[in-house]
Amino acid sequence: MSTDLVVLAILMFAVTYPSRALGLLAPGLDRMPKVAFDYLQLVGPAVLAALAAVSVMVVVGDDDVPSFHVGIEWVAVFVCLAIVARRRNLFLGLVAAVAIVIIAREVGPAALP
C-alpha cells in the first residue's frame, strides 16, 4: 500500500465533508426536498464504498497491469458490512475488518497481494 491513498483520503474528505456538513451550516435545510437531502447524505458513504471496492478487488502487479483479486479482504469487507447493517456502527465494523486482515496476514493464510 502506498502513501498516495492517504492523500486521496484527505482529498475525498475535503470534497465530501462540505456536503455532509451542509445541514449544520445552512439554515432552512429542513425545507430542502427529501430526495435531495437523502442524496447528499449518501454521497460520502458511496465514495468510501467505491474506494474500498477498488482496493479490495483490483491488484496492480509489478508490470503495472491491474488484475482481479479474491482474498481475505473480501471476507473482511463482508464482515464489516454485516456488522454495520446489524449494529449501525461503522467504527465497530471497520475495526473488525482491520482485525481480520491483520490476524490473517500474521498467522499466514493471507499474504499481501
Which of 22-26, 53-57, 58-62 is least confident? 22-26
DSSP-assigned beta bridge partners for residue 60:
66
Q: Which residue has the higher pLDDT, 110 or 61?
A: 61
3-state helix, strand, coil in the chain (%, to 5): 75, 5, 20
Could you give phi then psi for residue 68, rounded to 5 degrees?
-75, 140
- For residue range 56-89, what is the model confidence (pLDDT) as tens digits? 888 887 888 888 888 888 889 889 889 988 988 8
The pLDDT value given to residue 111: 63
| Per-residue pLDDT at 99 exceeds 90 | yes
Radius of gyration of the CA atoms of the chain, in A? 17
pLDDT at 77: 87
Does the pLDDT at position 5 exceed 80?
Answer: no
Note whether 97 and 58 are within 8 A (CB): no
* Other beta carbons within 10 Å of 62: 5
Taking the model in full, what pTM does it have?
A: 0.56
* Beta pairing partners, 66: 60
